[in-house]
Chain A
Amino acid sequence: GQQVMQIPQYQHVQEGEDFTTYCNSSTTLSNIQWYKQRPGGHPVFLIQLVKSGEVKKQKRLTFQFGEAKKNSSLHITATQTTDVGTYFCAGPAMRRSGGSNYKLTFGKGTLLTVNP
């Protein structure tokens, strides 16, 4: 079945440093979604990328979707303590018909901690 891998599993940074997490799928994705889960909280939707090679920015966060639609990355510039949490990528596999499977497969997430 479809597998989604994320690296690193953990990342500890000093406040102000940059952070990147990578996401790789075993199958082509119709889209990639990113979620953030604060400690003790529930996942919150951040963004969805659909097009091959797409890049989207949200303030200090930059999201990329690979050309082959099998990988993605999230980059945070100048981390802040409010960035602490686990970042998950998730994507539905693309069907042979070209449509999208509805079932999201989540990566195991990257836990980011920030030292003030």
Chain B
Amino acid sequence: GAGVSQSPSNKVTEKGKDVELRCDPISGHTALYWYRQRLGQGLEFLIYFQGNSAPDKSGLPSDRFSAERTGESVSTLTIQRTQQEDSAVYLCASSLQRNQPQHFGDGTRLSIL
């Protein structure tokens, strides 16, 4: 596709359930980022992937959060045992290379009941 694709666009789940969010970056983009955006707030960095290098997981808020990316393709962000404070929009972005402008997907709006 032409842009970054994220799915699902909306996810409502009960507290304690696991969720998996998917990001399909722009073809050829080596860098991929996950951010969390709470209502009315800025973007909170979660994790960064660059090619086949080890990811930077320094932004993950707890060990309930994990992410994977195979090569330079799709990435999944998994949140285990969801809590209400996990409710937010999760944005994925990709860029041609590190430090290049980032292209964002439409995000996944996650609501924890």
The proximity string for B residues 54-68 relative to A, scoring 1 for CB distances below 8 Å and 0 otherwise, is: 001011000000000
Q: How far is the CA of A33 from the CA of B41 in the complex (A)?
A: 18
Interface positions of B from 25 to 39, Cβ below 8 Å from A:
31, 33, 35
What residue in chain A is nearest B89 (Cβ atoms)? A42
Instruction: Enumerate chain B residues within 8 angstroms of A92, measured Cβ to Cβ.
Output: 99
B99 touches A107 (CB 8 A): no
A48 touches B101 (CB 8 A): yes
Q: What is the interface residue range for chain B against chain A? A: 20 to 34
B104 touches A104 (CB 8 A): no
Rounded to whole Å, the gap between the CB of A22 and the closest CB of chain B is 15
In-complex Cβ contact of A88 among B33, B42, B93, B106 (8 A):
B42
A42 touching B43 in the complex, CB below 8 Å, given contacts A30-B99, A103-B48: no
B104 touches A44 (CB 8 A): yes
The proximity string for B residues 82-107 relative to A, scoring 1 for CB distances below 8 Å and 0 otherwise, is: 00000000010100001101111111
B75 interface residue, CB < 8 Å from A?
no
Instruction: Enumerate chain A residues within 8 angstroms of B58, measured Cβ to Cβ.
Output: 103
Rounded to whole Å, the gap between the CB of B39 and the closest CB of chain A is 12
In-complex Cβ contact of A42 among B50, B91, B98, B101 (8 A):
B91
In-complex Cβ contact of A45 among B50, B102, B106 (8 A):
B102
A residues lining the B interface (CB < 8 Å)? 30-31, 33, 41-45, 48, 88, 90, 92, 100, 102-109
Known contacts A103-B58, A109-B42; 9 additional CB pairs below 8 A are: A43-B93, A44-B104, A45-B102, A45-B103, A100-B99, A102-B31, A102-B56, A104-B102, A106-B42
